[in-house]
Amino acid sequence: MIVENIEHVRENIEKACKKAGRSVDEVTLIAVSKTKPYTDIEEALKSGTLDYGENKVQEMCEKYEILPKNIRWHMIGHLQRNKVKYLVGKTELIHSVDSIRLAEQIEKEYAKKDETANILIEVNMAQEESKFGITSQETEELIRKISTFEHIRIKGLMTIAPYTDNPETNRVYFRQMKKLSVDIRDKNIDNVSMDVLSMGMTGDYQVAIEEGSTMVRVGTGIFGERNYNI
Ligand SMILES: *Cc1c(COP(=O)(O)O)cnc(C)c1O
């Protein structure tokens, strides 16, 4: 089932790209494997998918040890500062940086091992109280501060849109995210690129792609419903 699901998602990505006049090469599919056993990832690997998203550091590290080393791990969940050290050398991209204190910790831990962290800034575009991320108004200032850190490269922005049954209701947030990323790119801040726009999940990734997403994070649509009680 997992391989078929991935093929189905890839077809949808292709359709959305076509509709928007974009190339499929512009969009990376991240298979969100959080809470799922490593055997599910072994299955997914048969489809050629190499990008996986996890939201807990310990779970990601356990899977990292067991699974092939060519997997690209994406940290997409809220990150506690005392866990940052475990990510060094294992993480392709940290999607969820939303404070200067977290960035300082990342700088410190990556500097120790002379590595560079690739990160995204998480923006709470819909201003939902339950969500992490900064406001769009705070984004430029935070990016300017972090851009001076030697061991961090800002690659773009990430958002988690509200949960919805109708993806069209999130289009406005995706459009605002794209505009914010273009506005920041136009400021030409040293060490900052805005090539990545991580937005779109199972319920709304097609709409996100139509509005400019370059990374979609799909969990349920690939691995099925998650069970948090086990
Ligand atoms: C769980 C999660 C996803 C995947 O959500 P689905 O609706 O299952 O596709 C994507 N992004 C983040 C940040 C998540 O925590």
Q: What does the mean pLDDT of the chain come to?
A: 97
Q: What pLDDT digit, counting tens, does each position of 126-144 carry? A: 999 988 999 999 999 999 9
Which residues lie with the beta carbon below 6 Å from any ligand 1 atom? 32, 34, 55, 76-77, 160, 201-203, 217-221
Domain region containing 179: 2-222
Q: What is the per-residue pLDDT for 229?
A: 65
How far away, in angstroms, is 65 Cα from ligand 1 center?
A: 23
Average pLDDT of the residues in 33-46 = 98
Q: Are 180 and 123 in contact (CB under 8 A)?
A: yes
Residue 47 sits in a domain whose CATH number is: 3.20.20.10
How far away, in angstroms, is 57 Cα from ligand 1 center?
A: 15
Average pLDDT of the residues in 134-158 = 98
- Do the domain assignments include residue 230? no
Is the pLDDT confidence value at 230 over 60?
A: no
Q: What is the per-residue pLDDT for 141?
A: 98
- Reference 55, options 219, 222, 221; nearest CA is 219
Q: What pLDDT digit, counting tens, does each position of 194-222 carry? A: 999 999 999 999 999 999 999 999 999 99
Domain count within the chain: 1
- Reference 47, options 77, 4, 80; nearest CA is 4
- CA–CA separation, 64 and 38 (whole Å): 9
Sign of CA dihedral 131, 55, 203, 171: positive
Q: Are 185 and 194 in contact (CB under 8 A)?
A: yes
Of all protein residues, the one whose alpha carbon is nearest to atom 7 of ligand 1 is 202
Is the pLDDT confidence value at 227 over 90?
A: no
Which of the listed residues 12, 30, 32, 51 should we mutate to test ligand 1's pocket, taking the one with most ligand atoms within 8 A of CB? Answer: 32
- Do the domain assignments include residue 229? no
- CA–CA separation, 57 and 230 (whole Å): 18
Coil/strand/helix, residue 19: helix
Instruction: Give residue 24's pLDDT band: very low, low, confident or very high (50, 70, 90).
Output: very high
Q: What is the per-residue pLDDT for 40?
A: 98
